[in-house]
Amino acid sequence: MPSETETVYVVDDDVDLADSLARLFARHGMRSKAFVTPSAFTAAYQPSGAICVVTDVMLGAVHGFDIARTLASIDPAAAVVFMTAWPVTADAVDAIRRHGGVDYLEKPIDVPRLLVSVEEGLQWSARRRRSALRLGALSGRERQVLHLLADGKSSKVIAAELNLSPKTIEDHRASIRAKTGACSLQELISLLR
């Protein structure tokens, strides 16, 4: 969708590096803002459009993972790319698996890889934003049914689990398809990711 803006938030306690990164992203056609402290970042954050946050892992007393955790509660549709000057394998795994990071980059920064990762993050964020929009119209019950479908359960099993009739479940499924515009079960499930 052309109307969607792409914003990259940069958080690094080194002013020069943060500014440099912000200018790099700006030159590549993204809106970009640099922050030196996590608090300034959260204060200025606006959850709209495709968003990728590029943050250092060690920001003085605050850990980059804390930012990711805060961000997940504010805006689940934002992608995160971590940077660190002191890479640790355990951190790298956590960054991706537990904090949903797109990438975990070592400093000095490999610029082409950073650009690829940020691009990937923005695409993911845009997808998430659209999905959220489409899923937003669903009722609570419909969302529940969708999650159970995503778990690979049939209408019959879901009906038994929710103590409803299979017919009601089929109605919900039709309603979900209508609201999200998804044609297949596969497409439906992909909206949840």
Partner 1 sequence: MSANSSAPGDPAHVRLKPTVIVTIYAAAFLVLHPLAAAWGQLSIYSIWYPIAGVRFALLWRFGPKLSAPFAAADLLAHLVWGDFPARPLQAATFAASIVLPPLAYGLAIATLKALRRRAGGKPSEDAVALAVGMAFAPALASISSLPWAFFDGRALAVTTLLEQLGAVLVFLVGDVLGVLLIAPPLLWLFGLRDPGREDPFQRVSPAKLAEACAVVALAALAAWISQNNGLGLRLEPMLLATAWVGLRLGAATAWIVIAGVSAYVLFLLPANTEQSVRIALHMLTASLAVEGYVVGSFSDAHERHLQEIARKDRLLMHAERLKTLRAMSVAIIHELAQPLSVLAIEAKTLREISRAPTIDQQELKAVAHLIERKSANLADLARRLRGFGERGVAERAPIDLQALLQDAVAIVRPEAKAANVTVRLRDSSEARIEGAAVELQQAVVNLLRNAVAAAPGEEVMVASRRNGSVATIQIDNPVRNSAESPNGMGIGLIIAKTIVEAHGGQLQQTEAHGGVRYSIRLPIHCEPHAQ
CA distance readout (Å), 130 to 69, 123, 141, 145, 158: 22, 11, 21, 20, 27
Which conformational region is residue 100 in: left (phi greater than 0), alpha (psi within -120 to 50 degrees), or beta?
left
List the interface residues with partner 1, window 109-128 (CB under 8 A): 109-111
Terminal Cα-to-Cα distance of the chain (whole angstroms): 19
Shortest separation between residue 29's beta carbon and partner 1, angstroms: 12
Task: Report the residue number, 26 or 185, with the smaller CB distance to partner 1.
Answer: 26
Please tell me whether residue 182 binds partner 1 under the rule CB under 8 A. Answer: no
Shortest separation between residue 184's beta carbon and partner 1, angstroms: 42
Please tell me whether residue 16 binds partner 1 under the rule CB under 8 A. Answer: yes
Q: How many CA atoms lie within 13 A of 150 on its CB side?
A: 14
Three-class SS state of 43: helix
Please tell me whether residue 17 binds partner 1 under the rule CB under 8 A. Answer: yes
Eight-class DSSP state of 118: H
Among 18-26, 134-142, 143-151, 157-165, which window interacts with partner 1 (CB under 8 A)? 18-26
Please tell me whether residue 76 binds partner 1 under the rule CB under 8 A. Answer: no
Shortest separation between residue 60's beta carbon and partner 1, angstroms: 5
E strand or H helix at 77, and its extent?
none
Q: Which residues pair with 31 in a beta bridge?
A: 7
Q: Which of 37, 40, 60, 88 binds partner 1 (CB under 8 A)?
A: 60
Residues that bind partner 1 (CB under 8 A): 14, 16-17, 20-21, 23-24, 27, 58, 60-61, 83, 85-86, 106-111
